[in-house]
Structure 1
Amino acid sequence: MAEITVAGLEKSYGSFTALHGIDLHVEDREFLVLLGASGCGKTTLLRCIAGLETASRGEIAIGGRRVDPLPPRARKIAMVFQNYAVFPHLTVFENIAFGLRMKKMPNAEVDEKVRRAATMMHIEQLLARYSGQLSGGQRQRVAVARALAMEPEVLLMDEPLSNLDALLRLEMRAELKGVLQESRTTTIYVTHDQVEAMSLADRIAVMHGGHIVQHASPLDVYRDPATRFVGSFIGNPPMNFLPATRTTAGWEVAGLTMPGPAIDAHTIEFAVRPEDLTPAETGLTGRVKVVEPLGAHQLVTMDVAGHHFRVVLESDLVVRPGETLRLAPRPERVRWFDPTSQTAIDRSLVPS
């Protein structure tokens, strides 16, 4: 069992606190993604779990065994970095074998583990080459194979695909997910790329300002953001937000009255994703500013009551800048936020 438990973890650098009391549980064999913008603390958290940083406070356990007092080599983890760290003077075989030889394994066992890891990453035909003869994608495969050859209880990955071009990143993403499903290794993966997070993760922990602000499945993070930040960070384009004011008939949003949360407040925020609106005779009214064709769809940027607003529409719908467009939000996809706490309002308070 290689479940990971982080309890009350804090990390400070002088007067700056990078991590604020992090609590996190990763199930055995789970693929967890730490997602957030640069500077949110995700890499610091990963390095604390790896033992490359010492936490200021809190505990870390792997498989029920507390590891934060232990050095990295005693934690039964492997780590894949953004820059690959593939040794140029060694062959692919010796790069993958490096950690195994450090553990003084017999040659026959090293050979077996190297070839198995290379086969998993589809680089068995490259074992005799030097890293200088490899492409970026091939070097990344070598780095992952080297980590898998160690048969770690936990695999930690810090933005491992960020140096690859878009097409290669797409290919590596699918390959990596298949390999880790096969190896059944508990994995924590750091990225700022939300598409990468949504496609790879069993669960996502969204980080902001040194806090985990939501920890849920990719679909829950997308459909039910816990905070305004999550709604604005997840999704491309992100959620639309408009102020909502209480009236006797419900909540007024940009001149449209609609049912909303039964709470004691005068003003809240209405939120809806760009793909969850459809043209209608009655709805939110706005003036079209920019139309961007995207193949099967088009992204339309509008002005709605003085607010920047985006909608994704079918490409065969003719929309021109300067036109007035009315859009009806899908009621079941509308979300509401408290403007003071920036947190989502409980959906049970919204009439069905």
Structure 2
Amino acid sequence: MAVIEIKNVAKRFGSYQALHDINLTIDDQEFMVLLGASGCGKSTLLRIIAGLETQTTGEVWIGGRRIDHLPPKDRGIAMVFQNYAVFPHLTVFENIGFGLRMQKLPNDEVKRRVERTAELMHIEQLLSRYSGELSGGQRQRVAVARALAMEPDVILMDEPLSNLDALLRMEMRAELKGVLAESNTTAIYVTHDQVEAMSMADRISVMHEGRIVQAASPIEVYRDPAERFVAGFIGNPPMNFLPAEPTGAGQWRVAGQTLKGPDLNRPLEFAIRPEDMTLSDAGLKAKAKVVEPLGAHLLVTAEVDGTLFRAVLDSDLKVSPGDVLTLAPTPDRIRWFDPKSHHAVQ
């Protein structure tokens, strides 16, 4: 059982606090994605788990065993890096088997594992080639196969698809998720790409300024963001926000319109995703500024009560810059945030 437990982990580089009291449990065979912008601490956390950095405080446990005092080679972990780290002077077979040779495994066991993982990654026909003869996507497959051949308890991946073009990245996402599910390995995957996170993860841990602000399933992170940062970071385009004033009995004044909401008596922020807006006879008055036809839908950037506001509408609608629209939010998709704490209000 490769359950990972991160307990009160903090990391300081001089006067800079990179991680603040991180607590996270990752279940056996779970695919966990650490998602956040550059500098949020996600790669630092991954490197601490791997043993490439030492935490300032806290503990890391894998399978009920504390491992943060162990060297990387003794942690039962394999890692896939952003730059692949495929050795140019070795064949694909030798690259995949490199770690196994370091463990001094018998030749027949090395051959068995290399051929099995090469087949998993669909590169069995490339085993005799050198890395200079491979495409970027093929080198990435070699790097993943090398990690899987070690039969690790845990595999760590630090933005492994970021160097691939968009189409190949999409293909590799689906392939990688399937391979890891078949290998029964617990995986932690670092990325700043929310599409990767949403499409691959069993759970997403959204990181911001060295903290995990929400750890939940992709749909929960998307539909029920726990903090305003998550709502504004997840989604393309992200959520819209407007100030909301209470008028009593769970009624709220938003951009001159009355909407139902929490029964509270303090200002809040109204939030709604662009795709959860429809044209209607009653709703928020919006003046279209930019209209972007995007195939199946229109992305309309408008102004609502002096605030930029985006709506995703049906592509068959005729909308032009300067048009005044009435946009109605889907009631059960409205979210509310406290403007002081930035936490979601239920």
Alignment of 1:170-249 (within 5 A): 170-248=170-248
TM-superposition CA deviations, 1:130-171 (whole Å, max 9, x none): 000000000000000000000000000000000000000000
Task: Kindly report the root-mean-square deviation, in angstroms, between the aligned alpha carbons of the 2 structures.
Answer: 0.6
Alignment of 1:239-318 (within 5 A): 239-248=239-248, 250-265=251-266, 267-318=267-318
Distance 1:263 1:58 in 2: 39
Q: CA deviation at 1:244?
A: 0.4
Aligned to 1:350: none
Q: CA deviation at 1:248?
A: 4.0
Please tell me whether the aligned partners of residues 19 and 211 of structure 2 are also in contact (alpha carbons under 8 angstroms): yes
Aligned to 2:325: 325
Distance 1:25 1:149 in 2: 25
Aligned to 1:85: 85
Distance 2:102 2:123 in 1: 22
Q: What letter is aligned with 1:273?
A: R
Aligned to 1:115: 115
TM-superposition CA deviations, 1:160-208 (whole Å, max 9, x none): 0000000000000010011011111000000000000000000000000
Please tell me whether the aligned partners of residues 279 and 328 of structure 2 are also in contact (alpha carbons under 8 angstroms): yes
Distance 1:219 1:263 in 2: 27
Q: CA deviation at 1:2?
A: 0.2
Please tell me whether the aligned partners of residues 248 and 263 of structure 2 are also in contact (alpha carbons under 8 angstroms): no
Please tell me whether the aligned partners of residues 155 and 186 of structure 2 are also in contact (alpha carbons under 8 angstroms): yes
TM-superposition CA deviations, 1:249-279 (whole Å, max 9, x none): 61100011111111231x1100000000110
Distance 2:110 2:248 in 1: 74
Q: What letter is aligned with 2:57?
A: R
Q: Secondary structure at the match of 1:47?
A: helix
Q: What letter is aligned with 2:177?
A: K
Distance 1:216 1:149 in 2: 30
Structure 2: which 5+ residue stretches go unaligned?
A: none
Distance 1:246 1:262 in 2: 8
Distance 1:83 1:298 in 2: 37
Q: Secondary structure at the match of 1:43?
A: helix
Alignment of 1:1-20 (within 5 A): 1-20=1-20
Alignment of 1:39-58 (within 5 A): 39-58=39-58
Q: Secondary structure at the match of 2:344?
A: coil
Aligned to 2:147: 147
Q: CA deviation at 1:246?
A: 1.4
Aligned to 1:99: 99
Distance 1:193 1:88 in 2: 29
Matched, 1:66 2:62: no
**How many positions carry a matched residue from both structures?**
345
Q: Secondary structure at the match of 2:97?
A: helix
Aligned to 1:137: 137
Q: Secondary structure at the match of 1:99?
A: helix
Distance 2:143 2:186 in 1: 17
Large movers: runs of 4+ above 6 Å: none
Please tell me whether the aligned partners of residues 10 and 20 of structure 2 are also in contact (alpha carbons under 8 angstroms): yes
Distance 2:101 2:90 in 1: 13
Distance 1:321 1:219 in 2: 33
TM-superposition CA deviations, 1:22-70 (whole Å, max 9, x none): 0000000000000000000000000000000000000000000000111
Distance 1:176 1:200 in 2: 9
Identity of aligned residues (%): 70
Q: What letter is aligned with 2:129?
A: R
Matched, 1:344 2:344: yes
Please tell me whether the aligned partners of residues 84 and 139 of structure 2 are also in contact (alpha carbons under 8 angstroms): yes
Distance 2:146 2:265 in 1: 57
